[in-house]
Chains A and B, each alone.
Chain A
Amino acid sequence: MFQAEKKFINTEKIAYWVFLVLGVMNVGFVLMICVYLLLAGSPAIVKIGPLDFLFGTQWASTAAQPKFGILPFILTSVYGTIGAIIIGLPLGFFSAVYLAKMCPKKVRMVVEPVVDLLAGIPSVVYGFIGMLVLVPAIREIFGLPDGSGLLAAIIVLAIMILPSIIKVSVTAIEAVPEEYTLGSLALGANKVETIFRVVVPAARSGISAAVVLGVGRAIGEAMAVMMVAGNAANMPYSIFESVRFLTTAVASEMSYSSGLQREALFSIALVLFAFIMIINAILNMLLKKGIKR
């Protein structure tokens, strides 16, 4: 009897150390990435000058007189993300409300796996379909010489963030206690009023988390965007402009870069990393708030 107890303690200790090591490794990777990006990314910022780097409107990395201004990339990433949210949020939100509260069980059984599948499609496939379908369509509809540009990227991103927005919103809406619904119906409110005036407000922190998650996904996406955005380092003055995102700026030049150009690409990665860290911090805050309430 005592023997068994001793053995139990041992396995517990082993499990403790295994989990500890794994946990520390996780934190370690994040720290290593942080440190490496800081070390690799800061020299170019110092050499170019932080203001010229962040607010310069021209990027000409291979010119005789190279220019390393990344404002076009920053603005493109910001506009692209905002655009994707403007299209994706209402779509995702209403789909989530429909799935969680209104649709017949059978419809849900079909739609939910499809949404999951949408999340699992590799981004290169989104890019490919964007190239083959979306870009020509934009060209035809708006009578442009080339359909690839900010608008195409926004539409592709909007579709790519749909699954995360839908899934997180559905979870948030379903976590709202049934008593609220009953209370509202018992006061004579109809189903739609109940959903939009009681259930959705009660789920708002979860829904905001869905938005932030979508933002994170949109700002970090490279491959699909690279295939439809045109990739010229233009300022995003119009939605038809051929543009580069922060991600695609790194990806498109990394393979042949050298010297200061290469260092500047690391700096772009550092800026992107900072954006994503901020978004994650906001996400954590929202989720914590949701739990507290």
Chain B
Amino acid sequence: MPTSENASAADTSANVFTVRKFNLWYGDHHALHNINMDIKEHSITALIGPSGCGKSTFIRNLNRMNDLIPGVKLEGSIKYNNEELVNSDIDVSKLRKEVGMVFQKPNPFPMSVYDNIAYGPRTHGVRNHAKLDALVSGSLKAAAIYEEVKDRMNSSALGLSGGQQQRLCIARALAVQPHVLLMDEPTSALDPISTGKIEELAMQLKEKYTIVIVTHNMQQALRISDYTAFFLLGDLIEFGPTEKIFSNPEDKRTEDYITGRFG
């Protein structure tokens, strides 16, 4: 994996995640092979590749959501700051508070807009009303949806449009004050205008957060990401600055994929 070392050498800012020789099996199926990757602070890292290449599987290890799937076996190391995530006995609730996640399909809870956002902080013990109010409006503003929902805080979040729901889910993730935001194809269920809003939002959010985004859409990766990782059949084929991956890929397979020859 020479490119990953190139990437880390080129940039001196701190690593949020350090992935080394990471392997994953679903039962007998070896789904991820020997992944090495450094994810930099305050950047957007895009994971691209055809369906079934392992990019969604990979991202779910960064907040230990794979714990929920029976029969998963892991090897190697993923360090979040200095904490080992692979097969370690960490407090996953704390980890997930710091490493938030937004899913492919917008999944607001069947509650009011306010309660959706307040859910996370309440879970982590915030009871003070003034503090909750501030967190809710702050998160909604940060997710660029405050203006659209400020008059309907008490109505059901399920009444919002798909794009609004997804921004609400981003606001909900931000409300627990994470450091990292994982986005698993956050725009694949949305129309182009909503997609544009989410992309714009992601670029604003990287000032304060570190973002890892799985996307099917190469244009999206090119538009918003600083680093791109190309996965194919469970291998990390190439990883580096987005510009380089898209203009001058080192691997023939990366070039074939980004020029649309397969996938």
Contacts and interface: CB of A to CB of B under 8 A. Distances in A.
Interface of A: 177, 179-180, 182-190, 193, 197-198, 201-202, 293
B96 to A, nearest CB: 4
Contacts of A202: 109-110
Interface string B89-114: 00011111100110101011111000
A180 to B, nearest CB: 6
A187 B111 contact: no
Nearest to A176: B110
B93 A179 contact: no
A186 B173 contact: yes
B95 to A, nearest CB: 8
Interface in B115-129: 119-120, 123-124
B119 A185 contact: no
Nearest to B124: A188
B65 interface: yes
Interface of B: 63, 65, 68, 92-97, 100-101, 103, 105, 107-111, 119-120, 123-124, 158, 169, 172-173, 176
Interface-central residue, A185, A197, A202, by most chain B CB under 10 Å: A185
Contacts of B100: 186-187
B52 to A, nearest CB: 20
Contacts of A185: 65, 68, 96
Contact of B172 (A182, A187, A190, A193): A187
A186 B101 contact: yes
Contacts of B169: 183
A183 B158 CA distance: 14
Nearest to B156: A293
Nearest to A186: B101
A293 B159 CA distance: 10
B100 to A, nearest CB: 7
B97 A187 contact: yes
A171 B169 CA distance: 27
Nearest to A198: B109
Interface-central residue, A182, A183, A198, by most chain B CB under 10 Å: A183
Contacts of A193: 123
B120 to A, nearest CB: 4
Given A187-B123, A188-B96, A197-B119, A179 B110 contact: no
Contacts of B124: 188
Contacts of A198: 109, 119
Which 8 A-B residue pairs are closest in the complex by CB-CB distance?
A179-B107, A188-B97, A186-B101, A188-B96, A187-B120, A188-B93, A183-B107, A189-B123
Contacts of A183: 103, 107-109, 169, 172
Contacts of A188: 92-97, 120, 123-124, 176
B186 to A, nearest CB: 13
Contacts of A177: 107
Nearest to B91: A188
B93 A189 contact: yes
Contact of B93 (A180, A190, A197): A190
Contact of B110 (A187, A189, A293): A293
26 contacts: A180-B109, A182-B65, A182-B107, A184-B109, A185-B65, A186-B100, A186-B103, A186-B173, A187-B100, A187-B120, A187-B123, A187-B172, A187-B173, A187-B176, A188-B92, A188-B93, A188-B94, A188-B95, A188-B97, A188-B123, A188-B124, A189-B119, A190-B93, A198-B109, A201-B110, A202-B109
A180 B169 CA distance: 11
B119 A180 contact: no
A182 B103 contact: yes
Interface-central residue, B103, B109, B172, by most chain A CB under 10 Å: B109
Contacts of B93: 188-190
Nearest to B116: A183
B124 to A, nearest CB: 6
Contacts of B173: 186-187
Contacts of B172: 183, 187
A183 B65 CA distance: 10
B110 A180 contact: yes
A139 to B, nearest CB: 49
Given A188-B93, A293-B158, 19 more contacts: A177-B107, A180-B107, A182-B103, A182-B107, A183-B169, A184-B109, A184-B123, A186-B65, A186-B96, A186-B101, A186-B173, A187-B176, A188-B92, A188-B94, A188-B97, A189-B120, A201-B110, A201-B111, A293-B110
Contacts of B108: 183
A283 to B, nearest CB: 21
A25 to B, nearest CB: 40
A201 B109 CA distance: 10
Contacts of B65: 182, 185-186
A184 B101 CA distance: 10
A227 to B, nearest CB: 44
Nearest to A105: B70
Nearest to B92: A188
Contacts of A293: 110, 158
A198 to B, nearest CB: 6
A198 B101 CA distance: 17
